[in-house]
């Protein structure tokens, strides 16, 4: 995995503060600053001397003390540079929040077929939807599974969860993992209580999740997982506070069953359609994108797990101001498939059934062709390819769920586009001067800490050693905390950990999404014949700009 990690080398010389680093720029912090390097030994007179019994001072002790003094001076100079945002940060290029970011090269002129999921891909929902799912699920837990009635007092907290978390069914912890499968030290919760590093080590022995422990983890990857993650944490906390014994696995199973029930029973669908103004967001740009594809001769299909009546009601509402005729949205698609049962769709052999819209029934005749203006239920990838004869590389599929929407198509040879709505906001934050300022501060402290640990031996610790180490760690912690709270006070950014490493969610995006963007219609910003290339300086996640510590050197 590490072999694919090519980071921007910015382990530079900060001349005016006395930084002098030589060696390999690889892996030490947000910007991939120096993990291993040779530190230049200063020739200035040592200010700390530790004589032996005969009054002599060992040369290596003088060198160590001289280095501590030098790093101290560099740190004090760096702190002066922190008083003002450098002009260099303002001049750095900014990422387009609506851009398309490329993990694997993609020629749009070779793509002839565009497929779409519905929920959170074609359909945009307001934040009210998470409250609806949360409330319906907690009521089901109380009414059907006999959870304590006090659970009805729970309220969804939008500030708590992010996408891409994991729940440990064996230990009951809600975790954020990094790219390499290690627990984020500031992103592990038991209920609503954040665990300390010591508690994490006591529970797991190490921050790295091994294969045996990984079997107990379930990923919460789609946009519906926000309400699920919050409800799990609230129930665990409630049981802890009430001093009730519980099995963490049962809580997950019950909450997951409740979440599935509100979807499969139609409760959430009916709730949305009963008040579409509250839950759905109208989007004329989506219609423009779909029409553009049709005008260019592309084939379009809709493949969703939702029932047809729900999709139809939502599409009519979202596009009613733009298309004139309330039935014309289906004319945009060559094939419409509902109740597809993804991800099972990709490896099962279920037959397609023709759906009668008027009678709400399924036909018994065999489906050998997809006819215009028809709607189909169920089916499987094998039959889909046999009927359409669409070849893998000429098909691109858009979806928001990494496992249900993207993993299957990716393995089938389709190109994939991940739709990640929170991406737009996170890029806006990363483009901001305040975020870049604290990120550059973080880099400087990381470089100093790297130099400090590479030079000073633990066996020869003293007051000057402890004082400087504590100050560096405190400054780094403050910078990390500020950056984290810009995104989410509990778990930070979706794509990054607090140390600047890519998250486990970013790993799955890298693995299963050829490209990713915040909305499908962002493709309107590009030519339909564009060649989308992986950036030459790729860092795993193309949209993430890693601000170098050298940005401060013009200020010193």
On whether 109 is known to bind a ligand per the annotation, the reply is no
Contact between 550 and 12 (Cβ < 8 Å): yes
Tokens of 443: 């880099």
Burial (CB count within 10 angstroms: exposed 0-12, middle 13-18, buried 19+), residue 95: middle
**In whole angstroms, what is the distance from residue 58 CA to residue 333 CA?**
80
Could you say which of 66, 109, 119, 135 is catalytic? 119
The Cα diameter of the chain in Å comes to 101
Is 157 tagged catalytic?
Answer: no
Burial state string for 152-163 with b = 16 or more CB within 10 A and e = fewer than 16:
eebebeeebbbb
Could you say which of 54, 66, 109, 117 is catalytic? 117
Contact between 17 and 74 (Cβ < 8 Å): yes
**In whole angstroms, what is the distance from residue 167 CA to residue 177 CA?**
11
Q: How many CA atoms lie within 13 A of 404 on its CB side?
A: 25
Is 117 tagged catalytic?
Answer: yes
CA 59 to chain centre: 50
Tokens 């209920």, located at residue: 191
Q: Count CB-CB contacts under 10 A for residue 226.
A: 23
For 125-282, strand residue ranges (E) read 165-168, 173-177, 183-190, 193-194, 217-220
Backbone angles phi, psi at 263, to 5 degrees: -85, -55
Q: Count CB-CB contacts under 10 A for residue 258.
A: 23
Q: Count CB-CB contacts under 10 A for residue 552.
A: 28
* Residue 367, beta-bridge partner list: none
- ∠ CA 244-247-252, rounded to 5°: 115
On whether 498 is known to bind a ligand per the annotation, the reply is no
**In whole angstroms, what is the distance from residue 191 CA to residue 235 CA?**
7
Tokens of 412: 């089938």
**In whole angstroms, what is the distance from residue 428 CA to residue 225 CA?**
23
**In whole angstroms, what is the distance from residue 220 CA to residue 302 CA?**
24
On whether 119 is known to bind a ligand per the annotation, the reply is yes
61-66 long-range contacts (CB < 8 A, ≥24 apart) are: 61/460, 64/455, 64/456, 64/457, 64/460, 65/464, 66/41, 66/42
Tokens of 351: 């037959």
Tokens of 113: 């077929």
- Residue positions in the annotated binding site for Mg(2+)? 117, 400
Annotated binding site for GMP: 119
Residue ranges for the binding site?
117, 119, 400
> What residues are labeled active site?
117, 119
């Amino acid at each position: 995995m590490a072999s694919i990690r090519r980071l921007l080398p910015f382990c530079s010389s900060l001349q005016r503060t006395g930084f002098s680093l030589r060696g390999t720029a690889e892996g030490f912090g947000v910007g991939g600053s120096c993990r291993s390097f040779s530190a230049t030994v200063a020739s200035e007179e040592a200010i700390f001397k530790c004589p032996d019994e005969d009054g002599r001072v060992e040369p290596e002790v003088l060198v160590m003390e001289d280095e501590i003094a030098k790093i101290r001076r560099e740190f004090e100079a760096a702190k002066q540079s922190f008083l003002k945002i450098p002009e260099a940060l303002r001049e750095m290029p900014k990422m387009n929040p609506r851009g398309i970011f490329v993990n694997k090269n993609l020629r749009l002129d070779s793509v002839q077929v565009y497929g779409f999921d519905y929920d959170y891909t074609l359909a945009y929902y307001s934040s009210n939807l998470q409250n609806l799912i949360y409330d319906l699920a907690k009521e089901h837990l109380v009414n059907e599974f006999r959870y304590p009635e006090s659970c009805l007092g729970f309220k969804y907290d939008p500030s708590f969860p992010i996408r891409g978390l994991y729940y440990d069914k064996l230990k009951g912890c809600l975790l954020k993992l990094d790219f390499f499968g290690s627990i984020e030290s500031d992103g592990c919760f038991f209920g609503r209580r954040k665990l300390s590093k010591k508690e994490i080590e006591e529970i797991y022995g190490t921050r790295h999740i091994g294969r045996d422990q990984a079997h107990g983890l379930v990923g919460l990857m789609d946009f519906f997982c926000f309400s699920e993650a919050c409800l799990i944490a609230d129930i665990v906390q409630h049981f802890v506070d009430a001093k009730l014994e519980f099995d963490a696995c049962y809580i997950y199973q019950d909450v997951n069953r409740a979440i599935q029930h509100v979807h499969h029973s139609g409760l959430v669908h009916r709730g949305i359609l009963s008040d579409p103004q509250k839950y759905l967001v109208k989007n004329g740009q989506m219609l423009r994108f779909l029409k553009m594809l049709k005008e260019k001769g592309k084939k379009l299909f809709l493949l969703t797990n939702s029932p047809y009546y729900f999709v139809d009601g939502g599409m009519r509402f979202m596009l009613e101001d733009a298309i004139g005729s309330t039935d014309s949205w289906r004319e945009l698609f060559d094939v419409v498939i509902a109740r597809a049962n993804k991800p099972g769709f990709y490896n099962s052999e279920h037959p397609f059934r023709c759906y009668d819209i008027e009678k709400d029934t399924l036909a018994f005749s065999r489906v050998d062709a997809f006819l215009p203006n028809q709607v189909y239920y169920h089916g499987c990838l094998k039959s889909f390819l046999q009927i359409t004869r669409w070849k893998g590389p000429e098909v691109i599929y858009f979806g928001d769920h990494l496992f249900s929407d993207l993993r299957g198509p990716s393995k089938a040879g389709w190109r994939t586009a991940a739709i990640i709505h929170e991406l737009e906001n996170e890029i806006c934050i990363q483009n901001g001067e305040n975020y870049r300022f604290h990120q550059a501060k973080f880099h400087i402290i990381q470089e100093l800490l790297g130099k400090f640990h590479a030079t000073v031996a633990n066996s020869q610790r003293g007051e000057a050693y402890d004082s400087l180490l504590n100050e560096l760690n405190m400054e780094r912690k403050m910078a990390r905390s500020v950056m984290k709270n810009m995104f989410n006070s509990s778990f930070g950014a979706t794509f990054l950990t607090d140390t600047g490493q890519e998250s486990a969610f970013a790993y799955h995006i890298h693995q299963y999404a050829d490209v990713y963007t915040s909305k499908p219609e962002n493709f309107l910003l590009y030519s339909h014949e564009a060649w989308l290339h992986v950036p030459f300086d790729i860092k795993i996640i193309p949209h993430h700009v890693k601000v170098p510590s050298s940005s401060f050197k013009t200020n010193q």
